[in-house]
Structure 1
């Protein structure tokens, strides 16, 4: 578990369930970033910490277990206002940042190498889009990597394509600002079945029809759909949570 550290620009990593602090991600030495605003930790060859700062900078630090040190792999300032949220793509190739400004940034998710030592402060993100909507408080990528959603201070939930970063939908229901969004996680593991021998297929078909008639009630079908839908939940300052079924 990662949380803002005892110093504003650092991150403390705790081990669970012992609740023992085991690592501290250092601050960025080359520029003033202000306090930590958003954090994501994950594994890509080693422990990676993605951080968003008050200054609008986004950074990637990689931990080396061999010498217990942190290496700054990426540093970019795609925003003019503090970063409010960030999330990584499921395939761990990129991550997205949202801010108090109207920009959404798409950044490369760099993996550590033995010889790598660079800061990308001048290179810029993979893509930065001015959405025209300031204050997108929360950003989450769906687990199939196709879309991401943001929660807006204007009470709107917006859905974007991860590939083109174009706006696909605007969800309006809340009367006050939306502060959090989340997608339901769906098991993407494909299921396979061994085909029945030709001479037994009529029997299998008859048995399947009987089972469908016996178990395929409306409530069971509804339950099955609920378990396989990419639900999108949004929480607002109005104290309400909305649930959406899109795409």
Structure 2
């Protein structure tokens, strides 16, 4: 019987293209606009937006004075960038404006003047822990997830129609063990994720904000320096507000320690039922998020929000990270919130979420006045509100003021309390009305659903593909590895780079029926009609039609991009 010769081994995979132009290591990259653009950021703060169809840059600018930590896409015409210069910025990058942007790459000379996109918002943030931000849309859009998958997998959610919808941005807190969630375009601090009280997790290393599809809730997933990971449940108070607002506190619902080294990256599946973590060790862990009961914490939140009316500072007594941030700049007109300080020197209204210790009312114990309440407000005696407040807190006032009590003649008072004291008159209910530290509930660390020892330490920039079947990591050993999300089995290893790979990303898996030409991704003006669109298609010449078809083919391919320490970006087509 003749033995058939064994088929020769397949040659190693080769990248489809190599993007060159950065002069420093690549720290961030992301596919945007339905796989028609690739945004890369390097250690010098440069952002390059590449057109995948032509492999040429369409926009180059220096977004930050330090390394780029991350980017995100807000609709088809805005890009968020996060730099190590302690700033998060939102840029307007409309497709129609690409002709006005500079295309000179950083390698062509860093001193050459380049026009920048319009800066819409800027937010001072903490970047001492190298943790990048995360973004999701404030309202759910799962009904379009399957047909518009190109938008998913980009910081947590599918964008609703239109680019003006509100977004939530999670950033490391000013206390490096906490997380702050800001809402745009309202420019307000909406939520605070406190530190884990039951154990010392170390500082925040990775964060993800996403919608939990089964419950409709918004979750924060955090990875910590001590190898811990936690899941927090946010409240439902995400409606746009004008004026002062009190940030809500998140509630911890899951805690695990699958790693022995700091967590480097994490990502979540499209429905947020599972998520994955990678670390400086060789472990990749799979975690399952159980169904969240509807209405968790609603009663406590309502009690706390009721007490906020007369006691706004009480809610923040356990959150020292609410000191006044650095000056907040905003280029958008009419969108500046009174809850964040302005840079023009005027006196905005100060809210408890932006007051530091020097501007808060003196609620600490006073040895010369034993009747003054302590910081915990655990007293039934009225406040001495006859003193004039400081200049910085002149805008802070209470709804009622109590009559000044003389401590020598009236050491104790039996009069009916008023103002804040009226809220504290019933001692048994004090624990329900004091600031809710929802994370202070003792929670036991649980084992992850699945752990795989890969024997390859230092896998970072973990990303899950939009169809939920594969995940990719970049390694310190210069390898790009692709795993199955179901079994965590290694499916492929991409070898080309000679130095460490710091950033990887999947292109979205798109349905051919959902592919939209790049020229039509920008929101149409009110004056545009179907007839005008038909006329534009009719005027399309043969070259333009060929370019459009080639671009549609590029959108439908399954891409992987990897950025390395050598400043090169490799583009791969995978299964």
| TM superposition score category, shorter chain reference | 0.7 to 0.9
Aligned to 1:167: 490
Output the CA distance in 2 between the equivalents of 1:159 and 1:18. Answer: 39
User: Does 2:271 align with 1:100?
Assistant: no
Output the CA distance in 1 between the equivalents of 2:249 and 2:222. Answer: 17
Output the CA distance in 2 between the equivalents of 1:115 and 1:43. Answer: 15
Output the CA distance in 1 between the equivalents of 2:472 and 2:442. Answer: 31
The answer to whether the 8 Å contact 1:73/1:110 transfers is no
TM-score (norm 2): 0.37
Aligned to 1:77: 257
Aligned to 2:502: 179
- Residues 95-144 of structure 1 deviation map (CA, whole Å, 9 limit, x = unaligned): 000000000000012343246888350x3001010000000021000001
- Residues 171-210 of structure 1 deviation map (CA, whole Å, 9 limit, x = unaligned): 011111001111112334857xxxxxxxxxxxxxxxxxxx
User: Does 2:16 align with 1:16?
Assistant: no
Q: 1:173 to 1:7 in 2, by over 3 A?
A: same
> Which segments of 5 or more consecutive residues in structure 1 lack a partner in the other structure?
192-213
Q: 1:110 to 1:68 in 2, by over 3 A?
A: farther
User: Could you say which structure has the higher strand fraction?
Assistant: 1
Aligned to 2:307: none
Which residues in structure 2 correspond to 1:131-170 (within 5 Å)? 131-170=454-493
Aligned to 1:65: 236
The total of aligned residue pairs comes to: 224
* SS, match of residue 226 in structure 1: helix
- Residues 144-187 of structure 1 deviation map (CA, whole Å, 9 limit, x = unaligned): 11100001011000000001100000001111100111111233
- Residues 40-97 of structure 1 deviation map (CA, whole Å, 9 limit, x = unaligned): 0012222210000000001000012379442111000000000000000112210000
Output the CA distance in 2 between the equivalents of 1:37 and 1:111. Answer: 26
* SS, match of residue 227 in structure 1: helix
The answer to whether the 8 Å contact 2:192/2:249 transfers is no
Output the CA distance in 2 between the equivalents of 1:146 and 1:163. Answer: 7
Output the CA distance in 1 between the equivalents of 2:442 and 2:510. Answer: 37
User: Does 2:528 align with 1:227?
Assistant: no
Output the CA distance in 1 between the equivalents of 2:479 and 2:234. Answer: 38
Q: 1:125 to 1:118 in 2, by over 3 A?
A: farther
Aligned to 1:236: 564
> Which segments of 5 or more consecutive residues in structure 2 lack a partner in the other structure?
1-168, 238-246, 298-440, 515-541
The answer to whether the 8 Å contact 1:74/1:118 transfers is no
- Larger displacement relative to structure 2 (129-138 or 18-27): 18-27
Deviation at 1:16, TM superposition (A): 1.7
Output the CA distance in 1 between the equivalents of 2:546 and 2:249. Answer: 57
- Larger displacement relative to structure 2 (129-138 or 62-71): 62-71
Which gives a bigger RCO, structure 1 or 2 (Cα 8 Å, sep 6+)?
2
* SS, match of residue 250 in structure 2: strand
* SS, match of residue 225 in structure 1: helix
Aligned to 2:227: 56
Deviation at 1:21, TM superposition (A): 2.0
* SS, match of residue 64 in structure 1: coil
Q: 1:64 to 1:21 in 2, by over 3 A?
A: closer
Runs of 4+ displaced beyond 6 Å: none
- Larger displacement relative to structure 2 (110-119 or 27-36): 110-119
Aligned to 1:112: 292
Q: 1:110 to 1:189 in 2, by over 3 A?
A: farther
Aligned-residue CA RMSD in angstroms? Answer: 2.4
